[in-house]
C-alpha cells in the first residue's frame, strides 16, 4: 500500500477519476485547487498533480482510448498525501539520469524536489504514484 493517514490523522479524503486525455490535466489541477483552497501548499500540489497525471496518460494505459486516471488527496493537519492512480503498463516510474540533456525525464526530478518523499505502489496492471507534501498548520483545507 502507499502510505495513508490513519483514521485519527486523516481529516479529509477526496478522490476523483478523470478520462485519460490531456485536457483533463487542468481539470485534475482544478480539483486539487478546489479542495485545498487558498493555502501556501496548493500551488505545489497542483504542480505535482500535473506531472503525475501527465505521466499517467503518457506512460500508461490510462492514456489509451477509454483510459482513466484517478487523483486522491488524503489531508491531515500537517501532511497531505497526493496520489495518482493509473492503469499500468510495462515501464516503471523512475528518475532519469541527472546528466540526461533530453527535454524529457524531468518530471519526477521536479516531484522529488517539491515533496518530502514520493514512491510507487502497484504493478503493470495499475500503479499509484504518491507524494507527501507537508502542510503548514496555520490553514486547514476548506
Ligand X SMILES: Nc1ncnc2c1ncn2[C@@H]1O[C@H](COP(=O)(O)OP(=O)(O)OP(=O)(O)O)[C@@H](O)[C@H]1O
Which positions from 81 to 120 touch Mg ion by CB under 5 A, shown as an x/- string? --------------------------x-------------
Out of 17, 34, 91, 100, name the contact with ligand X by CB under 6 A: 91
Burial class of 40 by CB neighbour count within 10 A (0 to 12, 13 to 18, 19+): exposed
Run of H or E residues at 56: helix 42-59
- Report the residue from 55, 62, 115, 128 that binds Mg ion according to the rule CB under 5 A: 55
Q: Does residue number 68 form part of the binding site for ligand X (CB under 6 A)?
A: no
Q: Where are the beta strands (DSSP E) in the chain?
A: 12-19, 68-75, 79-85, 117-123, 126-134
Q: Is 70 in the site for ligand X (CB under 6 A)?
A: no
Among 96, 119, 134, 136, binds ligand X (CB under 6 A): 96
Q: Is 44 in the site for Mg ion (CB under 5 A)?
A: no
The item of Mg ion, ligand X, none sharing an interface with residue 93, based on CB under 5 to 8 Å by kind, is ligand X
Is there binding between residue 20 and ligand X (CB under 6 A)? no
Q: Which residue has the cell 501548499?
A: 41
Q: Which three cell numbers stand for residue 20?
A: 485519460
Over the Cα atoms of the chain, what is R_g?
15
Which of 32, 56, 57, 81 is the binder for ligand X (CB under 6 A)? 56
Spatial distance between the Cα atoms of 9 and 74, rounded to a whole number of angstroms: 9
Cα 88 to Cα 102: distance, rounded to the nearest angstrom:
24
Summarize as ranges the residues that interact with ligand X (CB under 6 A).
Answer: 51, 55-56, 58-60, 86, 89, 91-94, 96, 104-108, 127, 129
Amino acid at each position: 500500500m502507499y502510505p495513508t493517514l490513519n483514521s485519527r490523522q486523516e481529516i479529509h479524503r477526496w478522490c476523483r477519476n478523470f478520462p485519460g486525455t490531456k485536457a483533463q490535466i487542468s481539470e485534475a489541477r482544478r480539483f486539487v485547487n478546489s479542495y485545498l483552497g487558498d493555502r501556501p501548499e496548493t500551488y505545489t500540489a497542483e504542480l505535482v498533480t500535473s506531472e503525475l497525471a501527465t505521466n499517467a496518460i503518457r506512460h500508461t494505459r490510462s492514456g489509451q482510448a477509454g483510459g482513466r486516471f484517478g487523483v486522491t488527496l488524503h489531508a491531515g493537519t500537517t501532511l497531505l498525501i497526493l496520489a495518482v492512480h493509473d492503469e499500468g503498463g510495462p515501464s516503471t516510474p523512475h528518475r532519469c539520469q541527472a546528466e540526461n540533456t533530453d527535454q524529457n525525464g524531468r518530471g519526477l526530478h521536479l516531484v522529488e524536489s517539491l515533496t518530502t518523499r514520493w514512491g510507487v505502489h502497484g504493478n503493470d496492471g495499475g500503479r499509484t504514484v504518491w507524494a507527501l507534501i507537508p502542510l503548514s498548520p496555520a490553514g486547514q483545507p476548506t
